[in-house]
Structure 1
Amino acid sequence: MEVSGKRRTKLTYSVSHGSAEDFVLFCIPCDRDGKRVPAKGFCTTCNEHLCKTCYKHHKKPAPTRNHVLLDEDSMPTTHTVQLYQDNFESCDDHQDEKQKYYCRDHDIVVCSVCVTLDHRTCKVEYIPKLSKHILDSEELNELMAEMKSLEEVCKLSIKRAKDEIKAISENHDKVIKAIHQFRKEINTRLDDMEKIVVEDAERISDKTQMILKSLSTGIEDIKDETVKKQVCLDNLIQRNCLDKLYVEMKVAKKRLIQIKMKAKQHSRINNNETVSFVKHQAIIDMLEKYKQLGEIVKSSNSENDAMMKETSTPPEDTSLNLEVVEEIDMKSASDTE
């Protein structure tokens, strides 16, 4: 496990474990990722050996664009391990001192003052002495493997998070689409309900108008017949046709009785009737009771496409107070308990 507070600023190597004749130079950047790739070039600026791929892409990024590169024939063939001097961290408690010691008893790095004050009886070792074989230590390898494993777990978690975000977005679209579809269904149903009421009102209006038109026509006929009888009688009076006048008078008198009865029947028809629209109280109550089209509910199954309830029931009335009034004896004669 890597000691906290100690930061390795730069440690590069390119050696193989064997004789000098079997020595192979490896790519330093790839080696940091745990890959052993033979070196095919060298960067004099970075002072590192590079593989064919790293050599090819070394000049593309802006930070390394102006670095000086040597090909395989010109690169150094030395197998010296290059250790760059570590920069020790300052002690948190003693800013002028560097944390150059490791306390095995407390598993922490400390400065010389800390050793003197708090770790005199502990097993304290000098870090530069311990770090000589750190590259081949099992602790470093296990730490690197653990960090690599953690990196893969993080990558998987990130992927899952992105997938969840995508699923949530798609689910949101489904919910909004369902709300809009429900609204369309309500609009269609309201249009049908409105059409029924409008047609009923038009039917009543047409029937009333037809009756009134018939009444108007009947009265118009009575008026015309009355006028004709009057003209006929006036004409006979002026011509002094007494016999004819007598006959027409009797006929007109009898017809007048019939006309009066017909006019009286027409007058009984109420032509002042009006209609009005009465709202259904149940619909008014429903609009007062429900302030939204439905409810948004959560589902524990993320793969379930049915994310919404088709219908929602009103919440249970928790305002009711239950009280025991009396106990009823349900025991029969055959009960043994």
Structure 2
Amino acid sequence: MATGGWMNTDILSDEVFDVLCKICKNKDKNTEGVKFCVDCQDYFCKKCVQVHSQVPVCAGHKVLDKSLVTSRISKGLLRAPAERCDRHSHKHIDMYCQNHDNVGCSTCMAVDHRSCQDICYIPEFIQNNTYQSASTEIQTKLKEISKTLAEQVTNFKQDKQRLLKRKAKLLAHIRKFRQEINGQLDKMEKNSIDEIEDKVKHLEDKIEDNLKKLKDNMARVTLANDKLASPNTNQAEVFVHVKIGEDAANVANICIEDNKRKSTGDDIQFQPEKAILTLLEQYKSLGTLPKTPGTLFQIKGKQSICVTDTPQEVATDFINPCCLKDGTIILALRYKNKLKRFHSNNYTITDYPLPGAPLQVCSINAIQVAVTLPS
């Protein structure tokens, strides 16, 4: 007994389409594809192409009408490449410049190859020209290059390790040298301190000796004064005390006068040896790095200038040409007693007479040169 139910009529449809929608096909639906995505390399129906465009990842994909794709296929054309341009990510690499043997997007061709004559659409170029794929050859070449690059990476890593080890040794050498300098400075400091200590000890001994003499005289004067101040009826003993007091006073006066001629405290001065500091200031570092043998100069730029109809004298008699910042070239003619100024902007030559044969010529600023002449 038949019962009611649902049946997918798309599957049972007898209609045959040239191309099917990718999304509908995955859902077992037989729907005609009307749009083609170059990036996905798939067809989509009207409904599904809207879903496809709303997906963030697919937002920038290049979508074409089926008619454009089928017409190209009917003509035997290949599908356009899906590779995107590195410079213009919204564009596909579908153009080929035969003049430079370079591929790029339409924007690249418009910007970098505007003067080129042989620019082709890649599928059309491959279709119209006998082209043999060099994929295997390029893969082999790329593998060889990749191997070489890997070897160079390894070499540079090893160089870096050696450099770091060498750096550690050099730093240790610098620190050792600094310690030697510190040791020598410590010795110089100790010698200076010992010299001051000896000087102070000598002056301190002198002061102590003077103090002792003063204290002895003070004691004798005080004793003599006390004896004279005490009541005594013996005139002979008083006479003795007077003479002893006079002697104590005389000796004390001699000590006082002697101390007046002496400094009560010799000042010690220290004069730094500034020549040491001046010598150190002459050096910016503790040593120098020797120049690496075989080091080449690095060329920052070069320019080729084609000069036609140049006088023969310019080609044979000039010495040390000098180039100014504006591109002007100054030629010193050894036996012609003159300079020649070559204007690179209009390819003209101007003569400047000299009072003698030039020996050397060099630029001194952006627009002037100096010329050495014989005395």
TM-score of the superposed pair, with normalisation by structure 1: 0.46
Structure (1/2) with the larger strand percentage: 2
By relative contact order (CA 8 Å, sep 6+), the higher-ranking structure is 1
TM-score of the superposed pair, with normalisation by structure 2: 0.42
